[in-house]
Chains A and B, each alone.
Chain A
Amino acid sequence: MASGNGDALRVIGRPHRKVDAVDKVTGQTKFADDLYLPQMLYCKILRSPHPHARITSIDTSTAKELPGVKGVLVGRDIPIAFGILPVSQDEHALAPDKVRFIGDPVAAVAAISEEIATETLDRIHVEYEQLDAIASIEQALANPEPRIHDYGDSGNLHKLVSLEFGDVEEGFEQAYLVREDLFFYGGSTHLPMEQHAALASYSADHKLTLWSSTQTPHYVQRALAKVLEMPASRIRVIACPNGGGFGGKSDPFSHEIVVAKFAMMTGRPVKITLTREEVFYCHRGRHPTLMWAKTGVTKDGHITAMHFRTALDGGGYGSYGVASTYYTGALQTVTYQVDRYKFQGMRAFTNKPPCGPKRGHGTPQPRFALEVQMDKLAEQLGMDPADMRLRHLVPENSLTANYLRVGSIGLGACIEKVVDGSQWRDRFRKLPEGRGVGLACSSYLSGAGLPIYWNNMPHSGVQLKCDRGGGITVFCGSTDIGQGSDSILAYIVAEVLGVDPFEIRIVTADTDLTPVDLGSYASRVTLMSGNAALQAAERARDMIAPEVAQKLDVPRDRLVFADSRVFDSEDPERGMTFAEAVQAAEGALGTIGTVGSYTPPKSPGRYRGAGVGPSPAYSYSAAVAEVEVDIDSGIVRVLKIWIGHDIGRCINPTTVMGQVEGSIYMGLGEALMEDMEYRENFHVVHKIPSMLEYKSPTTLDMCEVETYLISDPDPNGPFGAKEAGQGPLLPVAPAVANAVYDAVGVRIDEVPIMPEKVRKALKQKASGKEARYGPTSFPDIPWPEPIHVPTPWEGGDGKALQHEETTTGPPPERQH
């Protein structure tokens, strides 16, 4: 663990406001849509009214001639494909030949006003030849034709994964009890307050600048370079402060490319702001996921084997989907010991807006299944579910069956805290009918171990400039999407250099000015850019300190950087201001600037697919939900959530609490009501693309929350810090489902837990049938022969058994 400056931490671990708080609360923050440039044009996009169709003709002649219209684009004008993952470059800025969901971009207009641009859309005439639409996982399996894409593992199955760590059948034979359960996790979207917006400008010397509400400016720059066939060095992407992202602004998007192209065509700045409905079509939200879980346990609940199958409804494009598919099978092993593990995952293409990464990316679905199944297993074994979990926690500094390296694990303390806080032992299975408590746990990454495109460069970089006036500027590619990443940089540098964090200038998310950070996804920013900032700040301290030591004639190791001074720890009066210290160093060494960077440790897994799951550190959470269920209506009210979160160490406990409680809020939405509904039998149109009718809880619907932060510093985190932004969402839905069972004795193996479903299960219970609502079958899927990997305790080295991988493994992933 990196240490601070002296023993006592002065900034880290203390509550601070965010560095951008005053701007935010006074309305000064400039979001992408707040930007106006002289001569700016407005862009609107014409979208497909059909879920699946071939474009036979597009006539833009009338549109082009309308007064005020400065440009019209169609697919053939921007023919190069793009996509966030190298293995699924399957998107076009505007569909060149085929549309794949209602809302797929087809043509675009740039005009002198938004009104004219909007009206012009009706003057673009597109002829379509409709194709049969694929509306669900089942339809994708049953109909390999017509293919939505001409790539993928087979027919309309985008990706098939099959991995086996140890022999699971042998593990099931050793089990005292084996359960098979089916679960479904409904699709939901991010619902950021800010609708995506982008503004492009092209200079006379052929340089492009794009301001955008994006979480990943570096990846947007790469996509623009590819699609516009320009060197990246001439493309500057600036991520504006995001009004919420949650994963929904992590892909390069059609509208970003379109305004860039228009700016180049017209020589004028071009802006677009999506409507709320268009945000629903951009989507990239939670994959609806059907799951089958077979788990074998000993008499005391130790998992001897687990076999997990997932089927994901991917929507019309690849997006992050291949990674999402692997993530539905990656983190089952990092909470409770699993001796042998098998995972099979499938992602289907369907004619709906593409799914992708939403807070928790691919892991809330299997976590829901796993934690509800644990509750069922504990009941059958006659064990308290808290005790069962506590007894079998993954030990710290260990390897899992699928070669994930677990460092610190504070899950035990999380469970104990919520068990005590909720008076679990006095209340579980003891509350009156209609009242119940449920427990669930989870884990999440603090950054992914591997980048999205293969390279061996750092994942995050920081440049730091110390000015002779005492000013410090931190340059980092990281993007503040509201989570507070700019503040984290300030706190860390302030801690090391002993200055006030609010005196530090932060320059972020600008590909011209800042070193690369891969983006605000995978809960990676505090750990990775934090470590880069820490390294840069320590290097600055190491440049400055010897000069100060010489000037003051004090041994270097007695110097303390604090209170904007550098002084002798044994004689604090003997010192100088930080500005004087920088001057001393600058006089001796020249301009004081340093760099820092961070590359995650190499993961021990060496099999195909081992790239998804490794992380420098895993956060852990445990939650107890208390619910009230109205038997007559099935309406579930969550009264309170107790949550323990293993944060490693808080950089700022206030923002950690904000992230934890925000995660609970989002988790409650998924648990109880949020649902990306389509009229499947009718054109696969999104049923409710509006903020009013897509139901998400408001602040007034939020329950009481008791948060316990568990500090167990992780050696890989800056000052020991781990993530907080995603993990705490995961236990919410299963804790609620388990609480509903405790309250009224019915299992709702599906989210959202809507009153209709509870009511149906209650009726079934009353009539003596299975007291359950949930999926009843898992489809037959043509799984490939699994890649066999011996577990570490079988003497495995992280590699797949050679002959099998080469002879029967899945086909190599295609570069499209």
Chain B
Amino acid sequence: MLRLPTFTYLQPTSIDEALKMKQDAGPDGMYVAGGTDLYPNMKRRHQEPKTVISLSGLDDLHHVTINPAEGTAIGAGTTLSEIETHGALAQRYPVVTQATKLIATPLLRNMGTIGGNLCLDTRCNYYNQSYEWRKSIDFCMKKDGEICWVAPSSPRCWAVSSTDLAPVMVALDAQFTLIGTNGERQVPAGRFYNDDGIEYLTKRPEEILADVRLPAANGWDATYWKLRRRGSFDFPVLGVAAWVEWDGDTVRDARVVLGGVASFPKLIAAASEAIVGTDLNDDAIASAAQAAFKPAKPMDNTDFGLAWRKEMTRNYVKGALEELRNRHRKA
């Protein structure tokens, strides 16, 4: 069987203690929450921490705090199952509930947390392989090697952002709270991610993602469309998060964000521009879909062929925006 390597497991009881433990462990230390991403990766020797610091016992990270006027804070340690079944969240932020339900399987959602999903390691089918497999073709630059097998002449890693919640959070312009040894800071979701398969987070390794702050739920609507092979269980090969703020029947502001097509959740400004000021008519939607189709640059490192995945960008952006329009017209 594929076994976990030997490591030391620490269970801090406060955020401060966790930060201290990380400081002591240095680069060989890693945080873990639900473990649904880290442990399989450790079995394949993608990450090889000597010390694993569990965040799952920290009550400060485990809450859903709803403030109708200012917004909502979700502790990063809240499990995906808790989010998906949270009635008040579903009422105010149905897009979050909807996207959460599309992650992995019920069993994995019982363990996995929102923070873990937002920090999900980028994926690539040259990378998400056992040590022996990677050794047989020679290691890639994301772990142990020098080259990117997806694009061998490329100086960078093209592993894919595969989190379902990241595009949603960028579309909603959520704020993330990070706690480090130097204190607390807030970053907008859009600046939490880098377009790089290796350095895909702007978070410093010792920082802990403490919570996710959603804007107050008024005047806007959003949806998330996920393309994957099986409806039951799969990472996205394309995720489309669309957010619009209505002013009467006119779109005042909008954000269209693609997941699964780059190393980070990709905000498509041109798609947003195509619909702002319109009533989301067919033409506006078509130009937004075209605007999203053009820069979508799937690589041959996930399920399905890349040409088809690119083509689907158009369909899914169109579908998501039509859903928002139809909901508004109905309301």
Contacts and interface: CB of A to CB of B under 8 A. Distances in A.
B151 to A, nearest CB: 13
Interface string B209-237: 00000000000000000000111111000
Interface stretch (B76-84, B124-132, B242-250, B273-281): B124-132
Nearest to B231: A701
Interface string A758-801: 01000000000000000000000000000000000000000000
A115 B232 contact: no
A451 B234 CA distance: 43
Given A695-B303, A755-B308, A688 B125 contact: yes
B137 A682 contact: yes
A47 interface: yes
Interface string B305-331: 101100110010000000000000000
A693 B2 CA distance: 16
The prevalent SS among residues of A at the interface is: loop
Nearest to A763: B311
A687 B136 contact: no
Contacts of B7: none
B3 interface: yes
Interface string A505-527: 00000000000000000000000
Interface string A656-699: 00000000000000000100000100110111111011010111
Interface in A368-400: none
A700 interface: yes
Chain B interface size, as a band, is 20 to 34
A148 B5 CA distance: 37
Contacts of B69: none
Given A50-B136, A102-B136, A682-B137, A687 B2 contact: no
A712 interface: no
B304 A276 contact: no
A277 B130 contact: yes
A685 B130 CA distance: 13
B1 A114 contact: yes
A685 B129 CA distance: 11
A28 interface: no
Max count, chain A CB within 10 A of own CB: residue among B1, B307, B315: B1
B1 A49 contact: no
Contact of B311 (A690, A701, A759): A759
Given A118-B3, A688-B125, A759-B308, A633 B132 contact: no
Nearest to B230: A701
A583 interface: no
A195 interface: yes
Interface in B120-153: 125, 128-130, 132-133, 135-137, 149
A195 B304 contact: no
Contacts of A683: 136-137
A275 interface: yes
A276 B2 contact: yes
Interface residues of A, number: 39
Contacts of B307: 756
A7 interface: no
A478 interface: no
B91 interface: no
A698 B3 CA distance: 25
A277 B315 CA distance: 35
A699 B315 CA distance: 28
A695 B136 contact: no
Given A693-B125, A697-B230, A698-B233, A632 B136 contact: no
A634 B227 CA distance: 13
Interface string A310-352: 0000000000000000000000000000000000000000000
A376 B132 CA distance: 47
A213 interface: no
Contact of A633 (B149, B305, B312): B312
A273 interface: yes
B6 interface: yes
Nearest to B309: A756
Given A277-B2, A673-B230, A756-B307, 17 more contacts: A47-B132, A49-B135, A115-B3, A275-B2, A275-B130, A276-B2, A277-B133, A673-B229, A685-B136, A685-B137, A689-B130, A689-B133, A695-B234, A695-B303, A698-B230, A754-B304, A755-B308
Task: Give 4 nearest A-B pairs by CB, closest first.
Answer: A49-B136, A700-B232, A698-B232, A756-B308
13 contacts: A49-B132, A275-B2, A277-B133, A633-B315, A673-B230, A682-B137, A683-B136, A690-B129, A697-B232, A698-B233, A754-B304, A756-B307, A759-B308
